[in-house]
Amino acid sequence: MSRPIVATIDTAALRQNLAVARKAAGGSRLWSVVKANAYGHGIERVWQSLQETDGFGLLDLEEAILLRERGWKKPILLLEGFFHQEDLDILDRYRLTTSVHSNWQIQALAKAKLSAPLDIYLKMNSGMNRLGFQPEQVHNAWQKLRSLPNVGEITLMAHFAEAETAEGIAEPLQRIEQAAEGLDCPRSLANSAATLWHPQTHHDWVRPGIILYGASPSGQWQDIAGNGLKPVMTLTSEIIGVQQLGPGARVGYGGLYRASEEQRIGVVACGYADGYPRISPTGTPVMVDGVMTRIVGRVSMDMITVDLTPCPQAGIGSAVELWGNHVKIDDVAAASGTVGYELMCALAPRVPVIVV
């Protein structure tokens, strides 16, 4: 018999979330971002539920090749571009769109022997200071790319570090507008937060990621609670043991939790080896038998202990939701000092996955 933990992927929710993103994007075309194995959901499990998208954005060539070999004909964008000169042979074979963020990539394109030009996303550094050309370098990079026979359509691409607020986009958007002045090319600027909340950033293509999977780009579920987004991943398990504690009894490694009175504790088949955060403190929300309660003590490799006080009927075999439709992944992440993105991506290979 297998452990009772299981992750369920709701493809109907994924399709609904794509529809919400498309409505928010207005007339802009839409890249569905499926990097990091579709944010831990499994790109091979979910891509068909996103077929109504205009293109897929990802990082790994292996994932791009998988989509092509499964029959995806529409655009695929390599968000970090290519990493070596020889990668261009693969981009050419599979007709991939690539970001270009460095001069060496322009030089590599100039040297490459391609069967046809590649479409390019020219990446500008709008102030996040990860990848991209500085604003004053954008025109020169664009002119170099435009002169190359190996380059097809050029789209200006940028990213926002703080698109959760109006203040967060004002300065980078000004930089982008100044850098793009006089350039005759499409633009792709908007991530999930900008797609939802800043229509002035939408332009030709938007790039939603986390909202496709039903979590908030701000890390606060209430920010998206009214717009129809639904969690795609639900992580469930069962109570596999019950302990009756007396006053003063402690729970788990380090004895971090001490009972103040008599208390029943349930032991759940889930731990950090399954992808649940080890740092999740006492008080992190969890649902047992349909009742909201909390974890207590330290998360172990294979087990979590939970307070059964609010659900006295619960016992061995009782259903547990770690995150999903009732326990929001954003709330678990916030309690744990992280974001829902990390929890999704951390789902361990040993957890069985059911697609519905």
Which amino acid, residue 278?
R
**Of 22, 130, 15, nearest to 81 (Cα)?**
130
Residue 294, beta-bridge partner list: 285
- Environment class of residue 22 by beta-carbon count within 10 Å: exposed (0-12), middle (13-18) or buried (19+)? buried
Does 350 belong to an annotated binding site?
no
**Of 193, 212, 75, 185, nearest to 123 (Cα)?**
185
How far is residue 309 CA from its own chain's centroid? 34
Please say whether the beta carbons of 294 and 249 come within 8 A.
no
Q: Is 280 helix (H, G, I), strand (E, B) or coil?
A: coil
The tokens for 317 are 């075999």
Q: Torsion-angle region of residue 337: left (phi > 0), alpha (psi -120 to 50) or beta? A: left
- Environment class of residue 349 by beta-carbon count within 10 Å: exposed (0-12), middle (13-18) or buried (19+)? exposed
Give the active site residue among 35, 123, 213, 341. 35
Q: Torsion-angle region of residue 317: left (phi > 0), alpha (psi -120 to 50) or beta? A: left
The answer to whether 272 is a known catalytic residue is: no
CA distance 140 to 138: 6
CA distance 57 to 31: 6
Q: Is 156 helix (H, G, I), strand (E, B) or coil?
A: strand
CA distance 275 to 220: 21
Please say whether the beta carbons of 37 and 57 come within 8 A.
no
Does 124 belong to an annotated binding site?
no
Q: Torsion-angle region of residue 199: left (phi > 0), alpha (psi -120 to 50) or beta? A: alpha
The answer to whether 35 is a known catalytic residue is: yes
Give the active site residue among 39, 73, 253, 272. 253
List residues forming the annotated binding site.
130, 301
List residues forming the annotated binding site for substrate.
130, 301
List, by residue number, the catalytic residues.
35, 253
